[in-house]
A and B are shown apart, each in its own frame.
Chain A
Amino acid sequence: MMKLEAIIQPSRFESVKDALREIGIEGMTVTEVRGHGRQKGHTEVYRGREYTVDLLPKIKLEMVLPDALVNRVVDTILKTAKTGKIGDGKIFLSRVEEAIRIRNEERGENAL
């Protein structure tokens, strides 16, 4: 099992979600987050006072996937989340030891 975390542009979220549903991904956890990588923020001016806004709004997708699906999901996200500009975000993959469904205590990939 792999955990996939993807930080993406809010504007691409709907397309990514639809594309993932088309390839059969049923569960995900979505959070509105703020952050920045190489993308610089922007400057806002209110009555002459300048504010540098360097934490920009992003969407974080989290899902735990059976190994067999990981590559397809990564490809799908790459294809749909990309705008080609700085600020498109990142995908992180990490191994997951165990998964347990709380309702019936199923374990492993069955619990996903």
Chain B
Amino acid sequence: MKCAGWKCSLSLVLMLGAILLAAAPLSAQQTPTSSTASSTTATSPTTPEIPKVVNEKLAQLDKDVKAAQSSADNAWMLVSAALVLMMTGPGLALFYGGLVRRKNTLAIMMQSFALMALITVMWALVGYSLCFGGDGHFIGSFEHAFLRGVGADPNPDYAGTIPQLTFMVYQLMFAIITPALITGATAERMKFSGTVLFLALWFLVVYAPLAHMVWGKGGLLNASLGGKFPTLDFAGGTVVHISSGVSALVCALYLGKRTGYPKQPMPPHSLVLSFIGACLLWVGWFGFNAGSALASNSLATSAFVATHFAAAAAALSWSAAEWIKNGRASALGAISGAVAGLVAITPAAGFVGPMPALAIGLIAGVVCYWMVTKVKAIFGYDDALDAFGVHGAGGTIGALLTGVFAQQVINPIFGAGKAVGGLDGHWGQVGNQLVGVLIAWVFALVGTLVLLKIVDMLTGVRVPEEHEIEGLDITQHGEEAYNLES
């Protein structure tokens, strides 16, 4: 090399440092996804003296480092996408499937599965674009309709290191599970035709705008990409859990109680299925929350840990409440508590450390226990599988507590050194969270009510009483879950 001595090596070190710094952006569903453009020219005072060959070598290194990071991030994000799909089928399908009476087992599982197919197709046609195209305040655009322009290149607005295709398919899995959660409230009495039509419309009218408002560029509530009311929602407390949970409540009220409820016993037909389902949900949630870092970085680890701790704490607190109340800790209570904790930590996962995660879990377990055992009985609505009691309530608690516990040491979303949550010294964030929660509540309430009216006119929403008594498996699908004679 012609370049002489220390001068050359110094500039090389400086440049490598710059490359490495530039190549490690903190990206997340909600973080300032700073542009990943490298700045190879910024640091060198000796540019003219560097021979071409060194520049070329550096450019090559820069490319290699980026490629390596992209590979790592992409691997984790593809696994995460698969994990989130696993939450719907088999996770949620088994969890809900076990909770219904045996005559409705296939019907409830089929609703989840139908959404896996239906939302996927809708997502490819317009769904992704409505959520993540354009930069409107309320809803996306048709920019990416038919997945136009969605390919191997990253979309730097959202995830600068992975192919946009990966980001697209990862987000799809969220859009699948969210409407599937609602079926917990409509279980055992809603028509299959009405369910499919309602949830397809719900995805377009409620989910897509909310997802854009909270996560989309320019969205009203987006905390990192120019929102008016920066609402912290790392992995879907408002978008997924409040939206589905509140809509579930509206559905339960609109449909009315199941025939015989609450006098006739309607115990879960197989807690074994529910148990397996809940455990699959717990594992899948690592993809849901830690994957929401949108990269294989330390923020993903932090979210992973927070997720796990909150689930454990909530399983304990629900069980403890039950033990005190009934003198026993039940398996159904423990798994319900874990799910409640997972719901509540979802918006907070990428903003809090392990100790706040434990606190959020402990609170969520007790509050959700109280919601499904006391509040439901007081008001008398028939939220059959407690979609509102767990997701609506847990999501609301989680969203508000995110405003309390979010820490800038975990995720400096408002800029380095700026307080994020209340305990950080930014109590205004609780107000922002409240705005986000209220908007999500109102949006879900009104949207669901209007859609139910429309669907009721088109296909009807509730099965006739004799079909309900015979069971939805036979009357809606012409088959039985358990053919014991065959």
Partner of A48, one of B265, B267, B372: B372
B3 to chain A, nearest CB (A): 73
Partner of A45, one of B262, B330, B376: B330
A34 to chain B, nearest CB (A): 14
A47 within 8 Å of B (CB atoms):
yes
A49 within 8 Å of B (CB atoms):
yes
A44 within 8 Å of B (CB atoms):
yes
* Cα–Cα distance between A65 and B261 once the two chains are bound (Å): 48
- Chain B residues contacting A46 (CB-CB under 8 Å) are 267-268, 330, 332
The answer to whether A47 touches B333 (Cβ under 8 A) is: yes
- Which label, helix, strand, loop or mixed, suits the secondary structure of the A interface? strand
Give the interface size class of chain A: under 10
Partner of B373, one of A44, A48, A51: A48
Give the interface size class of chain B: 10 to 19
Q: Which residue of B lies closest to A52 (CB)?
A: B265
A44 to chain B, nearest CB (A): 6
B335 to chain A, nearest CB (A): 11
B326 within 8 Å of A (CB atoms):
yes
Partner of A47, one of B262, B265, B332: B332
Interface residues of A in 6-59 (CB under 8 A from B): 44-49, 51
B374 within 8 Å of A (CB atoms):
yes
B336 within 8 Å of A (CB atoms):
yes
Q: Which residue of A lies closest to B318 (CB)?
A: A47
* Cα–Cα distance between A48 and B389 once the two chains are bound (Å): 12
Interface string of B250-270 (1 = CB under 8 A from A): 000000000000100101100
The answer to whether B374 touches A48 (Cβ under 8 A) is: yes
- Chain B residues contacting A45 (CB-CB under 8 Å) are 326, 328, 330
The answer to whether A51 touches B267 (Cβ under 8 A) is: yes
The answer to whether B267 touches A47 (Cβ under 8 A) is: no
The answer to whether A47 touches B372 (Cβ under 8 A) is: yes
* Cα–Cα distance between A47 and B372 once the two chains are bound (Å): 7
B377 within 8 Å of A (CB atoms):
yes
The answer to whether A44 touches B267 (Cβ under 8 A) is: yes
B positions within 8 Å CB-CB of A: 262, 265, 267-268, 326, 328, 330, 332-333, 336, 369, 372-374, 376-377, 386
A positions within 8 Å CB-CB of B: 44-49, 51
A and B contact pairs by CB, cutoff 8 A, 12 listed = A46-B267, A46-B268, A46-B330, A46-B332, A47-B332, A47-B333, A47-B336, A48-B369, A48-B373, A48-B374, A48-B377, A51-B265
Please name the 6 residue pairs, one residue from A and one from B, whose CB atoms are nearest each other, closest first: A48-B373, A51-B265, A47-B372, A45-B326, A46-B267, A51-B267
